Chain A
Amino acid sequence: MKTDELISLLTEDAPVRVRLDRALGLALGAGVIAALGVLLATVGLRPDLAQAAETIRVMFKIGFTLALALCAGLLLFRVGRPGVAPGGRVRLLAIPLALLVAAVLLELAVLPPARWVECLEGLHASFCLFFIPTVSLAPLAAILWALRASAPADPGLAGAAAGLAAGAIGATVYALHCPDDSPLFLATWYALAILIVTAAGYVLGRRLLRW
Protein backbone atom coordinates (compact mmCIF):
# COMPACT_ATOMS: atom_id res chain seq x y z
CA MET A 1 0.00 0.00 0.00
CA LYS A 2 1.35 3.42 -0.90
CA THR A 3 1.08 6.27 1.56
CA ASP A 4 -1.32 8.11 -0.77
CA GLU A 5 -3.55 5.05 -0.70
CA LEU A 6 -3.38 4.95 3.08
CA ILE A 7 -4.46 8.60 3.13
CA SER A 8 -7.47 7.73 0.96
CA LEU A 9 -8.33 5.02 3.42
CA LEU A 10 -8.07 7.31 6.45
CA THR A 11 -10.09 9.98 4.65
CA GLU A 12 -13.06 7.60 4.43
CA ASP A 13 -13.00 7.37 8.24
CA ALA A 14 -12.96 11.16 8.79
CA PRO A 15 -15.65 11.81 11.44
CA VAL A 16 -14.52 11.46 15.05
CA ARG A 17 -16.51 8.90 16.99
CA VAL A 18 -15.07 9.16 20.46
CA ARG A 19 -14.44 12.50 22.12
CA LEU A 20 -12.11 11.98 25.02
CA ASP A 21 -13.73 14.48 27.39
CA ARG A 22 -17.20 13.09 26.85
CA ALA A 23 -16.02 9.50 27.33
CA LEU A 24 -14.22 10.45 30.55
CA GLY A 25 -17.22 12.36 31.90
CA LEU A 26 -19.45 9.37 31.22
CA ALA A 27 -16.98 6.97 32.78
CA LEU A 28 -16.66 9.05 35.96
CA GLY A 29 -20.43 9.41 36.30
CA ALA A 30 -21.03 5.72 35.72
CA GLY A 31 -18.18 4.81 38.08
CA VAL A 32 -19.58 6.91 40.93
CA ILE A 33 -23.07 5.46 40.47
CA ALA A 34 -21.73 1.90 40.35
CA ALA A 35 -19.59 2.41 43.46
CA LEU A 36 -22.55 3.87 45.37
CA GLY A 37 -24.69 0.98 44.18
CA VAL A 38 -22.19 -1.56 45.50
CA LEU A 39 -22.09 0.23 48.87
CA LEU A 40 -25.89 0.41 49.20
CA ALA A 41 -26.34 -3.19 48.05
CA THR A 42 -23.81 -4.53 50.57
CA VAL A 43 -22.87 -2.76 53.81
CA GLY A 44 -25.11 0.29 53.32
CA LEU A 45 -24.74 3.77 54.77
CA ARG A 46 -23.64 4.26 58.32
CA PRO A 47 -26.84 4.33 60.43
CA ASP A 48 -25.93 7.55 62.24
CA LEU A 49 -24.63 9.30 59.11
CA ALA A 50 -26.80 12.42 59.52
CA GLN A 51 -25.57 13.23 63.04
CA ALA A 52 -22.04 11.96 62.40
CA ALA A 53 -21.68 14.20 59.37
CA GLU A 54 -21.92 17.18 61.67
CA THR A 55 -18.84 16.19 63.63
CA ILE A 56 -15.62 17.75 62.45
CA ARG A 57 -13.76 14.46 61.97
CA VAL A 58 -16.44 12.93 59.75
CA MET A 59 -16.80 16.16 57.85
CA PHE A 60 -13.08 16.14 57.24
CA LYS A 61 -13.01 12.48 56.26
CA ILE A 62 -15.69 12.91 53.62
CA GLY A 63 -14.34 16.30 52.58
CA PHE A 64 -10.81 14.98 52.12
CA THR A 65 -11.76 11.94 50.07
CA LEU A 66 -14.10 14.06 47.95
CA ALA A 67 -11.41 16.70 47.35
CA LEU A 68 -8.93 14.00 46.34
CA ALA A 69 -11.48 12.45 43.98
CA LEU A 70 -12.17 15.85 42.40
CA CYS A 71 -8.49 16.72 41.95
CA ALA A 72 -7.61 13.29 40.56
CA GLY A 73 -10.70 13.42 38.33
CA LEU A 74 -9.59 16.79 36.92
CA LEU A 75 -6.12 15.37 36.30
CA LEU A 76 -7.63 12.60 34.14
CA PHE A 77 -8.81 15.16 31.61
CA ARG A 78 -5.17 16.07 30.98
CA VAL A 79 -3.11 12.88 31.13
CA GLY A 80 -3.99 11.51 27.72
CA ARG A 81 -3.91 14.76 25.76
CA PRO A 82 -0.74 15.13 23.70
CA GLY A 83 0.79 18.58 23.88
CA VAL A 84 -1.05 19.57 27.05
CA ALA A 85 1.12 19.59 30.16
CA PRO A 86 -0.69 18.11 33.17
CA GLY A 87 1.66 19.97 35.56
CA GLY A 88 -0.90 22.33 37.08
CA ARG A 89 -3.39 19.54 37.68
CA VAL A 90 -0.71 17.38 39.29
CA ARG A 91 0.17 20.20 41.68
CA LEU A 92 -3.53 20.46 42.55
CA LEU A 93 -3.12 17.10 44.32
CA ALA A 94 -0.95 18.87 46.89
CA ILE A 95 -4.08 20.56 48.31
CA PRO A 96 -5.80 17.44 49.70
CA LEU A 97 -2.40 16.09 50.72
CA ALA A 98 -1.55 19.24 52.70
CA LEU A 99 -5.02 19.15 54.30
CA LEU A 100 -4.42 15.56 55.41
CA VAL A 101 -1.03 16.36 56.91
CA ALA A 102 -2.54 19.34 58.77
CA ALA A 103 -5.41 17.18 60.07
CA VAL A 104 -3.01 14.50 61.30
CA LEU A 105 -0.91 17.10 63.16
CA LEU A 106 -4.05 18.62 64.71
CA GLU A 107 -5.28 15.20 65.76
CA LEU A 108 -1.94 14.41 67.39
CA ALA A 109 -2.13 17.76 69.19
CA VAL A 110 -5.65 17.32 70.59
CA LEU A 111 -5.50 13.59 71.29
CA PRO A 112 -3.68 12.28 74.37
CA PRO A 113 -0.75 10.08 73.23
CA ALA A 114 -2.32 7.11 75.02
CA ARG A 115 -5.15 7.09 72.45
CA TRP A 116 -3.00 7.46 69.30
CA VAL A 117 -2.61 3.76 68.63
CA GLU A 118 -6.27 3.01 69.32
CA CYS A 119 -7.40 5.69 66.83
CA LEU A 120 -4.86 4.60 64.24
CA GLU A 121 -5.91 0.96 64.43
CA GLY A 122 -9.61 1.82 64.39
CA LEU A 123 -12.33 -0.81 64.35
CA HIS A 124 -12.27 -2.08 60.77
CA ALA A 125 -8.83 -1.51 59.27
CA SER A 126 -8.68 -4.74 57.29
CA PHE A 127 -12.24 -4.32 56.02
CA CYS A 128 -11.32 -0.82 54.86
CA LEU A 129 -8.32 -2.24 52.98
CA PHE A 130 -10.55 -4.82 51.34
CA PHE A 131 -13.64 -2.72 50.67
CA ILE A 132 -12.16 0.46 49.16
CA PRO A 133 -10.34 -1.44 46.38
CA THR A 134 -13.49 -3.51 45.83
CA VAL A 135 -15.82 -0.52 45.33
CA SER A 136 -13.11 1.08 43.21
CA LEU A 137 -13.16 -1.73 40.64
CA ALA A 138 -16.11 -0.41 38.64
CA PRO A 139 -14.83 3.20 38.48
CA LEU A 140 -11.35 1.93 37.57
CA ALA A 141 -12.69 -0.22 34.75
CA ALA A 142 -14.84 2.65 33.43
CA ILE A 143 -12.01 5.19 33.55
CA LEU A 144 -9.51 2.85 31.88
CA TRP A 145 -12.08 2.12 29.20
CA ALA A 146 -12.49 5.86 28.53
CA LEU A 147 -8.73 6.44 28.56
CA ARG A 148 -8.25 3.92 25.76
CA ALA A 149 -9.29 6.78 23.49
CA SER A 150 -6.48 8.89 24.92
CA ALA A 151 -2.84 9.09 23.85
CA PRO A 152 -0.75 9.24 27.03
CA ALA A 153 3.00 9.80 26.78
CA ASP A 154 3.41 7.31 29.63
CA PRO A 155 0.63 4.67 29.74
CA GLY A 156 1.70 3.55 33.21
CA LEU A 157 1.34 7.02 34.71
CA ALA A 158 -2.00 7.53 32.98
CA GLY A 159 -3.14 4.24 34.49
CA ALA A 160 -1.89 5.37 37.90
CA ALA A 161 -3.93 8.58 37.58
CA ALA A 162 -6.95 6.43 36.71
CA GLY A 163 -6.27 4.29 39.79
CA LEU A 164 -5.89 7.34 42.02
CA ALA A 165 -9.21 8.78 40.84
CA ALA A 166 -10.97 5.41 41.16
CA GLY A 167 -9.45 4.81 44.59
CA ALA A 168 -10.51 8.26 45.78
CA ILE A 169 -14.06 7.65 44.50
CA GLY A 170 -14.08 4.31 46.32
CA ALA A 171 -12.78 5.98 49.48
CA THR A 172 -15.43 8.71 49.34
CA VAL A 173 -18.14 6.10 48.97
CA TYR A 174 -16.75 3.96 51.80
CA ALA A 175 -16.52 7.06 54.02
CA LEU A 176 -20.34 7.12 53.98
CA HIS A 177 -20.28 3.80 55.81
CA CYS A 178 -17.04 3.69 57.78
CA PRO A 179 -17.25 4.25 61.56
CA ASP A 180 -13.51 5.04 61.93
CA ASP A 181 -13.26 8.81 61.89
CA SER A 182 -9.78 9.74 63.08
CA PRO A 183 -7.42 11.44 60.57
CA LEU A 184 -4.83 8.95 61.85
CA PHE A 185 -6.98 6.12 60.49
CA LEU A 186 -7.58 8.06 57.27
CA ALA A 187 -3.88 8.77 56.69
CA THR A 188 -3.00 5.11 57.24
CA TRP A 189 -5.67 2.73 55.98
CA TYR A 190 -7.54 4.91 53.48
CA ALA A 191 -4.23 6.10 52.05
CA LEU A 192 -2.95 2.54 51.78
CA ALA A 193 -6.17 1.36 50.11
CA ILE A 194 -6.02 4.23 47.59
CA LEU A 195 -2.35 3.43 46.91
CA ILE A 196 -3.26 -0.18 46.19
CA VAL A 197 -5.80 0.94 43.59
CA THR A 198 -3.28 3.42 42.16
CA ALA A 199 -0.66 0.69 41.81
CA ALA A 200 -3.21 -1.60 40.14
CA GLY A 201 -4.02 1.28 37.76
CA TYR A 202 -0.33 1.66 36.94
CA VAL A 203 0.06 -2.01 36.09
CA LEU A 204 -3.16 -2.12 34.05
CA GLY A 205 -2.34 1.15 32.31
CA ARG A 206 0.98 -0.19 31.05
CA ARG A 207 -0.88 -3.04 29.41
CA LEU A 208 -4.11 -1.41 28.29
CA LEU A 209 -3.25 2.20 27.46
CA ARG A 210 -0.43 1.65 24.97
CA TRP A 211 -1.23 3.12 21.60
Chain B
Amino acid sequence: MTQADREAQWAEWMRRAMAGDSLAYRRFLAAVTPHLRAVALRRCRSFGASESDVEDVVQEVLIAVHLKRGTWDPARPIGPWLSTIVRNKLIDSLRRRGREMTTPIDDVMETLEAEEATDPGDRLDIEALLERLKEPQRDIVRSISLGGAGVRETAERLHMSEGAVRVALHRALKTLARLYRSETL
Protein backbone atom coordinates (compact mmCIF):
# COMPACT_ATOMS: atom_id res chain seq x y z
CA MET B 1 0.00 0.00 0.00
CA THR B 2 1.47 3.34 -0.97
CA GLN B 3 1.57 6.28 1.33
CA ALA B 4 -1.21 8.00 -0.64
CA ASP B 5 -3.45 4.92 -0.42
CA ARG B 6 -2.81 4.67 3.27
CA GLU B 7 -3.61 8.32 3.79
CA ALA B 8 -6.86 8.02 1.82
CA GLN B 9 -7.83 4.96 3.86
CA TRP B 10 -7.09 6.67 7.18
CA ALA B 11 -9.04 9.75 6.11
CA GLU B 12 -12.04 7.62 5.16
CA TRP B 13 -11.98 5.82 8.51
CA MET B 14 -11.66 9.10 10.38
CA ARG B 15 -14.55 10.67 8.46
CA ARG B 16 -16.78 7.77 9.42
CA ALA B 17 -15.47 7.81 12.98
CA MET B 18 -16.33 11.48 13.43
CA ALA B 19 -19.89 10.64 12.43
CA GLY B 20 -19.96 8.03 15.20
CA ASP B 21 -18.79 4.82 13.46
CA SER B 22 -16.76 3.24 16.26
CA LEU B 23 -15.59 0.29 14.16
CA ALA B 24 -14.02 2.66 11.63
CA TYR B 25 -12.45 4.54 14.51
CA ARG B 26 -10.94 1.39 15.97
CA ARG B 27 -9.44 0.60 12.56
CA PHE B 28 -8.01 4.09 12.31
CA LEU B 29 -6.41 3.99 15.75
CA ALA B 30 -5.10 0.47 15.28
CA ALA B 31 -3.56 1.44 11.94
CA VAL B 32 -1.96 4.63 13.24
CA THR B 33 -0.52 3.18 16.45
CA PRO B 34 2.37 1.14 14.97
CA HIS B 35 3.52 4.23 13.10
CA LEU B 36 3.36 6.32 16.26
CA ARG B 37 5.30 3.65 18.08
CA ALA B 38 8.02 3.57 15.44
CA VAL B 39 8.41 7.36 15.49
CA ALA B 40 8.44 7.45 19.29
CA LEU B 41 10.95 4.59 19.50
CA ARG B 42 13.34 6.28 17.13
CA ARG B 43 13.04 9.53 19.06
CA CYS B 44 13.59 7.96 22.45
CA ARG B 45 16.68 6.17 21.11
CA SER B 46 18.26 9.18 19.50
CA PHE B 47 17.77 11.22 22.66
CA GLY B 48 18.97 8.55 24.99
CA ALA B 49 15.56 8.29 26.62
CA SER B 50 14.69 4.94 28.04
CA GLU B 51 12.89 2.67 25.61
CA SER B 52 10.49 1.87 28.40
CA ASP B 53 9.15 5.41 27.89
CA VAL B 54 8.07 4.69 24.31
CA GLU B 55 4.69 3.19 25.05
CA ASP B 56 3.84 5.89 27.58
CA VAL B 57 4.58 8.49 24.91
CA VAL B 58 2.45 6.59 22.39
CA GLN B 59 -0.49 6.53 24.78
CA GLU B 60 -0.20 10.23 25.53
CA VAL B 61 -0.08 11.06 21.82
CA LEU B 62 -3.08 8.81 21.11
CA ILE B 63 -5.17 10.64 23.70
CA ALA B 64 -4.16 13.98 22.16
CA VAL B 65 -5.06 12.81 18.65
CA HIS B 66 -8.37 11.60 20.02
CA LEU B 67 -9.30 14.80 21.86
CA LYS B 68 -8.24 17.06 18.97
CA ARG B 69 -9.82 15.13 16.09
CA GLY B 70 -12.46 17.86 15.79
CA THR B 71 -9.72 20.16 14.44
CA TRP B 72 -9.33 18.02 11.32
CA ASP B 73 -11.22 19.40 8.36
CA PRO B 74 -12.58 16.32 6.51
CA ALA B 75 -12.15 18.20 3.24
CA ARG B 76 -8.37 18.27 3.76
CA PRO B 77 -5.81 15.46 3.65
CA ILE B 78 -5.29 13.78 7.00
CA GLY B 79 -1.50 13.31 6.74
CA PRO B 80 -0.35 16.88 7.49
CA TRP B 81 -2.90 17.17 10.29
CA LEU B 82 -1.85 13.96 11.98
CA SER B 83 1.87 14.60 11.53
CA THR B 84 1.60 18.07 13.06
CA ILE B 85 -0.36 16.90 16.09
CA VAL B 86 2.00 14.01 16.68
CA ARG B 87 5.08 16.18 16.27
CA ASN B 88 3.82 18.84 18.71
CA LYS B 89 2.71 16.30 21.26
CA LEU B 90 5.86 14.21 20.98
CA ILE B 91 8.06 17.26 21.56
CA ASP B 92 5.89 18.14 24.54
CA SER B 93 5.95 14.68 26.02
CA LEU B 94 9.68 14.10 25.62
CA ARG B 95 10.50 17.55 26.92
CA ARG B 96 8.49 16.85 30.04
CA ARG B 97 10.44 13.63 30.42
CA GLY B 98 13.57 15.75 30.45
CA ARG B 99 14.64 15.39 26.82
CA GLU B 100 15.40 18.50 24.84
CA MET B 101 14.39 18.15 21.22
CA THR B 102 16.72 19.83 18.80
CA THR B 103 16.15 18.04 15.51
CA PRO B 104 12.86 17.82 13.65
CA ILE B 105 10.75 14.77 14.21
CA ASP B 106 10.07 12.27 11.45
CA ASP B 107 6.83 12.54 9.62
CA VAL B 108 4.33 9.92 10.81
CA MET B 109 2.99 9.39 7.33
CA GLU B 110 6.45 8.59 6.01
CA THR B 111 7.34 6.26 8.83
CA LEU B 112 7.04 2.59 8.11
CA GLU B 113 6.17 0.28 10.91
CA ALA B 114 9.24 -0.99 12.66
CA GLU B 115 9.28 -4.72 13.30
CA GLU B 116 10.85 -4.55 16.70
CA ALA B 117 8.32 -2.07 18.04
CA THR B 118 5.67 -4.03 19.86
CA ASP B 119 3.23 -3.26 22.61
CA PRO B 120 5.15 -4.14 25.77
CA GLY B 121 2.11 -4.43 28.02
CA ASP B 122 0.76 -2.41 30.89
CA ARG B 123 1.96 1.15 31.23
CA LEU B 124 2.68 2.74 34.55
CA ASP B 125 2.11 6.40 33.63
CA ILE B 126 -1.51 6.01 32.70
CA GLU B 127 -2.13 3.71 35.65
CA ALA B 128 -0.81 6.37 38.03
CA LEU B 129 -2.94 9.05 36.36
CA LEU B 130 -6.04 6.83 36.47
CA GLU B 131 -5.71 6.71 40.24
CA ARG B 132 -6.29 10.44 40.29
CA LEU B 133 -9.62 10.30 38.44
CA LYS B 134 -12.77 10.68 40.49
CA GLU B 135 -15.54 8.12 40.60
CA PRO B 136 -17.49 7.19 38.57
CA GLN B 137 -15.02 8.25 35.87
CA ARG B 138 -12.31 5.88 37.10
CA ASP B 139 -14.72 2.99 37.38
CA ILE B 140 -16.02 3.65 33.87
CA VAL B 141 -12.54 3.87 32.37
CA ARG B 142 -11.44 0.66 34.08
CA SER B 143 -14.59 -1.17 33.15
CA ILE B 144 -14.30 -0.32 29.44
CA SER B 145 -10.53 -0.59 29.02
CA LEU B 146 -9.41 -3.35 31.39
CA GLY B 147 -12.72 -5.15 31.73
CA GLY B 148 -13.47 -4.94 28.02
CA ALA B 149 -17.08 -3.97 28.78
CA GLY B 150 -19.13 -1.80 26.45
CA VAL B 151 -20.83 1.44 27.36
CA ARG B 152 -24.19 -0.29 27.74
CA GLU B 153 -22.97 -2.97 30.19
CA THR B 154 -21.09 -0.35 32.17
CA ALA B 155 -24.17 1.86 32.33
CA GLU B 156 -26.31 -1.03 33.57
CA ARG B 157 -23.85 -2.03 36.24
CA LEU B 158 -23.48 1.53 37.54
CA HIS B 159 -27.20 2.30 37.21
CA MET B 160 -26.45 5.22 34.94
CA SER B 161 -27.84 6.14 31.54
CA GLU B 162 -25.68 5.35 28.50
CA GLY B 163 -25.52 9.06 27.74
CA ALA B 164 -24.20 9.84 31.21
CA VAL B 165 -21.53 7.13 30.86
CA ARG B 166 -20.45 8.57 27.49
CA VAL B 167 -20.21 12.07 28.93
CA ALA B 168 -18.25 10.80 31.94
CA LEU B 169 -15.89 8.87 29.66
CA HIS B 170 -15.24 11.93 27.52
CA ARG B 171 -14.57 14.04 30.62
CA ALA B 172 -12.26 11.37 31.99
CA LEU B 173 -10.18 11.45 28.79
CA LYS B 174 -9.94 15.23 28.97
CA THR B 175 -8.87 15.00 32.59
CA LEU B 176 -6.22 12.42 31.71
CA ALA B 177 -4.80 14.75 29.05
CA ARG B 178 -4.69 17.56 31.60
CA LEU B 179 -2.97 15.35 34.16
CA TYR B 180 -0.33 14.34 31.60
CA ARG B 181 0.35 18.05 30.98
CA SER B 182 0.68 18.95 34.64
CA GLU B 183 2.81 15.98 35.70
CA THR B 184 6.54 15.73 35.42
CA LEU B 185 6.73 12.14 34.39
By a beta-carbon cutoff of 8 Å, the part of chain A in contact with chain B is 1-21, 80-84, 149-151, 153, 210-211
CB nearest to B165 among chain A residues:
A12
Q: Are the CB atoms of B63 and A6 closer together than 8 Å? A: yes
Contact of B121 among A2, A13, A19, A21 (CB under 8 A): A2
Determine whether the beta carbon of B30 is less than 8 Å from that of A20.
Answer: no
Known: A10-B63, A10-B66. A1 touches B25 (CB 8 A): no
Pick from A11, A16, A82, A83: contact of B26, CB under 8 Å: A11
A83-B33 contact given A1-B127, A3-B119, CB 8 Å threshold: no
Contact, CB under 8 Å: A10 / B70: no
6 A-B pairs whose Cβ atoms sit less than 8 Å apart in the complex: A1-B122, A1-B126, A11-B22, A13-B169, A14-B18, A83-B84
Which of chain B's residues have a CB closer than 8 A to the CB of A149? 68, 70-71
| A150–B69 alpha-carbon span in the complex (Å) | 9
Query: Residues of B within 8 Å of A, CB-based: how many?
Result: 55
Using a CB–CB cutoff of 8 Å, the interface residues on chain B facing chain A are: 17-22, 24-26, 29-30, 33, 55, 58-59, 62-64, 66-73, 76, 79-85, 88, 119, 121-123, 126-127, 130, 141, 144-146, 148, 150-151, 166, 169-170, 173, 177, 181
- A159 smallest CB distance to B (angstroms): 16
| Dominant secondary structure of chain A at its interface with chain B | loop
C-alpha spacing A2/B85, complex, angstroms: 22
- Are A7 and B30 in touch, CB under 8 angstroms? yes
Q: Which of A11, A81, A210 contacts B25 (CB 8 A)?
A: A11
Closest-by-CB residue of B relative to A154 is B88
B170 contacts A13, CB within 8 Å?
Answer: yes
A36 to B141, CA, bound (A): 45
Contacts of A82 in B (CB 8 A): 68, 71-72, 80-82, 84-85, 88
- A9 to B173 alpha-carbon distance, docked (Å): 9
A60 nearest CB across to chain B (Å): 36
* Complex contacts, B144 vs chain A, CB 8 Å: 8-9, 12
| Given the contacts A6-B62, A12-B144, A211 and B73 also touching, CB distance less than 8 Å | no
